[in-house]
Chains A and B, each alone.
Chain A
Amino acid sequence: MSTFPWLTALLAFPLMSAAVVMVMPKGNAATVKRAAFGFSLVPVAIIAYLWSQFDANATEQFQFAENTEWIRGWGVHYALGVDGIALAMIALSVILVPVVIIAGWNDVENRGSGNVAEYFAWFLVLETFMVGVFAATDVFLFYVFFEAMLVPVYFLIGRFGGPRGAFAAMKFFIYSLVGGLIMLAALIGLYVISSRNGIGSFAYADLLGLKMDPNTQKLLFLGFFAAFAIKAPLVPVHTWLPDAAQQATPATTVLLVGVLDKVGTFGMLRLCLPLFPEAARWFTPTVLILGLVGIIYGAIVAIGQTDMRRLIAFTSISHFGFITIGVFVMTSLGQSGATLYMVNHGFSTAALLLLVGYLISRRGSARIADFGGVHKVAPVLAGLFLVAGLSSLALPGMSSFVSEFMVLQGTFLQHPVIALIATSGVVLAATYILVMYKRTMTGPVGQGVEVVTELNRREIWAISPLVAALLVFGFFPKPVLDVVNPAIARVMQQIGAVDPQPRVAVVDTKAGQ
Chain B
Amino acid sequence: MSLFSPALLVGIPLVSAAVLLLLGKRSNAWGHFLGTTASIASFGVAVAAVMHLVSQPVGSREINQTVWNWFTVGNFSVDVTLSIDALSGVFILLITGVGSLIHIYSIGYMSHDENRRKFFAYLNLFIAAMLLLVLANNFLLLYVGWEGVGLASFLLIGFWQHKNSASTAANKAFILNRVGDFGLAAAVMLMFVTFGSVSFPTVFAHVGSAPGHTTTWIALALLLAACGKSAQFPLQSWLLDAMEGPTPVSALIHAATMVTAGVYLVARSNAIFDLTQTGRTAVMIVGTITLLMGAVIGIAKDDIKKALAGSTMSQIGYMMLAVGLGPVGYVWAIFHLLTHGFFKANMFLGAGSVMHGMNDDVNMRHYGALRKSMAITFGTFLIGYLAIIGVPPFAGFFSKDEIIKAAFEQSVWAGAAALLGAGITAYYMSRVMFMTFFGKARWQSGVHPHESPAVMTIPLIVLALLSAVAGYGLLHVINLEEWLTPLLHPTTGELPFNEALLLPGTLAVVAVGVVLAWFAYGSTHEIPVQAPRGNAFIRAARADLGGDAFNQEVVIGPGERLTATLVAVDEKVLDASVMGIADTFTGLGGRFRSLQTGFTRSYALVMVVGVIIVGAVAFLVRLS
Q: Which residue numbers of A lie inside 8 Å of B, CB to CB?
A: 170-171, 173-175, 177-178, 181-182, 184-186, 188-189, 192-193, 213, 215-216, 219-220, 223, 235-239, 297, 300-301, 303-305, 331-333, 336-337, 373, 375-376, 380, 383, 390, 395-397, 401-402, 405-406, 408-409, 412-413, 416, 419-420, 423-424, 426-427, 430-431, 434-435, 438, 441-445, 475-478, 481, 485, 488-489, 499-506, 508-509, 511-513
Complex interface: chain B residues within 8 A of A186 (CB): 617
B193 to A: closest C-beta gap in Å: 6
A332 to B74, CA, bound (A): 6
Size band of the interface chain B makes with A: 35 or more
Closest to B567 in A: A304
Complex interface: chain A residues within 8 A of B321 (CB): none
Q: Are A443 and B167 in contact (CB under 8 A)?
A: yes
Q: Known contacts A304-B564, A511-B197: does B202 contact A506 (CB below 8 Å)?
A: yes
Closest to A441 in B: B161
Binds A, one of B76-84, B270-278, B280-288, B403-411: B76-84
A480 to B: closest C-beta gap in Å: 9
A188 to B621, CA, bound (A): 9
Closest to B141 in A: A396
Enumerate the 10 nearest inter-chain pairs by beta-carbon distance, A residue then B residue, closest first: A502-B196, A181-B610, A512-B199, A332-B74, A442-B167, A304-B567, A185-B617, A239-B575, A396-B144, A412-B189
Complex interface: chain A residues within 8 A of B196 (CB): 501-502, 504, 506, 508
A297 to B186, CA, bound (A): 21
A401 to B146, CA, bound (A): 13
Whether, in the assembled complex, B416 has its beta carbon less than 8 Å from a beta carbon of chain A, the answer is no
Complex interface: chain A residues within 8 A of B193 (CB): 412-413, 416, 500, 502-503
A-B contact pairs, 22 of them (CB 8 A): A178-B606, A192-B622, A216-B620, A216-B621, A303-B563, A375-B162, A412-B193, A423-B182, A426-B185, A435-B171, A443-B167, A485-B72, A489-B74, A502-B192, A502-B193, A502-B194, A504-B209, A506-B195, A508-B196, A508-B202, A512-B202, A513-B201
Say what secondary structure dominates the interface of chain B: helix
Contact code string B197-220 (vs A, CB < 8 Å = 1, else 0): 101111001100111001000000
A383 to B167, CA, bound (A): 14
Whether, in the assembled complex, B520 has its beta carbon less than 8 Å from a beta carbon of chain A, the answer is no
Complex interface: chain A residues within 8 A of B174 (CB): 430, 434
Closest to A402 in B: B71
B136 to A: closest C-beta gap in Å: 10
Q: B162 contacts which of A185, A220, A443, A477 (Cβ < 8 Å)?
A: A443
Q: B178 contacts which of A237, A427, A476 (Cβ < 8 Å)?
A: A427
Q: Are A476 and B182 in contact (CB under 8 A)?
A: no
Q: Are A390 and B151 in contact (CB under 8 A)?
A: yes
B173 to A: closest C-beta gap in Å: 10
Q: Are B186 and A301 in contact (CB under 8 A)?
A: no
Q: A499 contacts which of B75, B178, B186, B206 (Cβ < 8 Å)?
A: B75
B21 to A: closest C-beta gap in Å: 8
Q: B73 contacts which of A236, A237, A332, A502 (Cβ < 8 Å)?
A: A332
Given contacts A177-B603, A181-B610, 16 further A-B contacts (CB under 8 A): A174-B606, A177-B610, A184-B610, A185-B613, A395-B147, A402-B70, A412-B189, A423-B186, A426-B182, A434-B175, A442-B161, A502-B194, A502-B195, A512-B66, A512-B79, A512-B138
Whether, in the assembled complex, B190 has its beta carbon less than 8 Å from a beta carbon of chain A, the answer is yes
A365 to B575, CA, bound (A): 24
Q: Are B618 and A481 in contact (CB under 8 A)?
A: no
Q: Are A188 and B206 in contact (CB under 8 A)?
A: no
A489 to B72, CA, bound (A): 13
B549 to A: closest C-beta gap in Å: 20
The CB with the most chain A CB atoms within 10 A, among B68, B81, B578, is that of: B578
A408 to B70, CA, bound (A): 17
Q: Are A478 and B71 in contact (CB under 8 A)?
A: yes
Whether, in the assembled complex, B415 has its beta carbon less than 8 Å from a beta carbon of chain A, the answer is no
Q: A185 contacts which of B70, B563, B616 (Cβ < 8 Å)?
A: B616
The CB with the most chain A CB atoms within 10 A, among B80, B202, B206, is that of: B202
Complex interface: chain B residues within 8 A of A177 (CB): 603, 606, 610
Whether, in the assembled complex, B392 has its beta carbon less than 8 Å from a beta carbon of chain A, the answer is no
Q: A174 contacts which of B80, B200, B562, B582 (Cβ < 8 Å)?
A: B582
Complex interface: chain A residues within 8 A of B209 (CB): 504-505
Complex interface: chain A residues within 8 A of B445 (CB): none
Whether, in the assembled complex, B374 has its beta carbon less than 8 Å from a beta carbon of chain A, the answer is no
A221 to B383, CA, bound (A): 74
Closest to B75 in A: A499
Complex interface: chain B residues within 8 A of A475 (CB): 70, 80
Q: Are B624 and A304 in contact (CB under 8 A)?
A: no
Complex interface: chain B residues within 8 A of A376 (CB): 161-162
A475 to B574, CA, bound (A): 40
Q: Are B185 and A504 in contact (CB under 8 A)?
A: no
Whether, in the assembled complex, B64 has its beta carbon less than 8 Å from a beta carbon of chain A, the answer is yes
Residues facing A in B22-46 (CB within 8 A) are 24
Q: Are B617 and A236 in contact (CB under 8 A)?
A: no
Q: Known contacts A186-B617, A427-B179, A503-B210: does B73 contact A336 (CB below 8 Å)?
A: yes
A373 to B205, CA, bound (A): 52
A215 to B617, CA, bound (A): 12
Whether, in the assembled complex, B602 has its beta carbon less than 8 Å from a beta carbon of chain A, the answer is yes
Complex interface: chain B residues within 8 A of A441 (CB): 161
A213 to B624, CA, bound (A): 8
Q: Are A506 and B164 in contact (CB under 8 A)?
A: no
Whether, in the assembled complex, B497 has its beta carbon less than 8 Å from a beta carbon of chain A, the answer is no
Q: Are A304 and B195 in contact (CB under 8 A)?
A: no
Q: B563 contacts which of A188, A304, A396 (Cβ < 8 Å)?
A: A304
A220 to B613, CA, bound (A): 12
Complex interface: chain B residues within 8 A of A235 (CB): 574
A317 to B: closest C-beta gap in Å: 10
Complex interface: chain A residues within 8 A of B566 (CB): 297, 300-301, 304
Q: Known contacts A443-B167, A506-B202, A509-B201: does B567 contact A301 (CB below 8 Å)?
A: yes
B25 to A: closest C-beta gap in Å: 9
Q: Are B76 and A438 in contact (CB under 8 A)?
A: no
A472 to B: closest C-beta gap in Å: 12
Q: B164 contacts which of A423, A442, A445, A481 (Cβ < 8 Å)?
A: A442
Complex interface: chain B residues within 8 A of A300 (CB): 562-563, 566
Q: Are B617 and A219 in contact (CB under 8 A)?
A: yes
Closest to B165 in A: A443
Q: Are A181 and B609 in contact (CB under 8 A)?
A: yes
A375 to B155, CA, bound (A): 13
Q: Are A395 and B624 in contact (CB under 8 A)?
A: no
Complex interface: chain A residues within 8 A of B146 (CB): 396
Q: Are B171 and A434 in contact (CB under 8 A)?
A: yes
A304 to B140, CA, bound (A): 32
A14 to B288, CA, bound (A): 67
Q: Are A185 and B140 in contact (CB under 8 A)?
A: no
Q: Are B614 and A504 in contact (CB under 8 A)?
A: no
Q: Are B24 and A395 in contact (CB under 8 A)?
A: no
Closest to A500 in B: B193
Complex interface: chain B residues within 8 A of A501 (CB): 75, 196
A373 to B182, CA, bound (A): 31
The CB with the most chain B CB atoms within 10 A, among A438, A475, A504, is that of: A504
Complex interface: chain A residues within 8 A of B75 (CB): 499, 501
A419 to B193, CA, bound (A): 12
Closest to B176 in A: A427
Q: Are B167 and A438 in contact (CB under 8 A)?
A: yes
Closest to B221 in A: A420
Residues facing A in B469-485 (CB within 8 A) are none
Closest to B586 in A: A174
Q: Known contacts A419-B189, A431-B175: does B618 contact A170 (CB below 8 Å)?
A: no
Q: Are B71 and A423 in contact (CB under 8 A)?
A: no
Q: Are B201 and A301 in contact (CB under 8 A)?
A: no
A394 to B: closest C-beta gap in Å: 9
Q: Known contacts A189-B618, A376-B162, A442-B164: does B202 contact A337 (CB below 8 Å)?
A: no
Q: B197 contacts which of A170, A442, A506 (Cβ < 8 Å)?
A: A506
Complex interface: chain B residues within 8 A of A395 (CB): 147, 151
Q: Are B624 and A215 in contact (CB under 8 A)?
A: yes
A302 to B70, CA, bound (A): 32
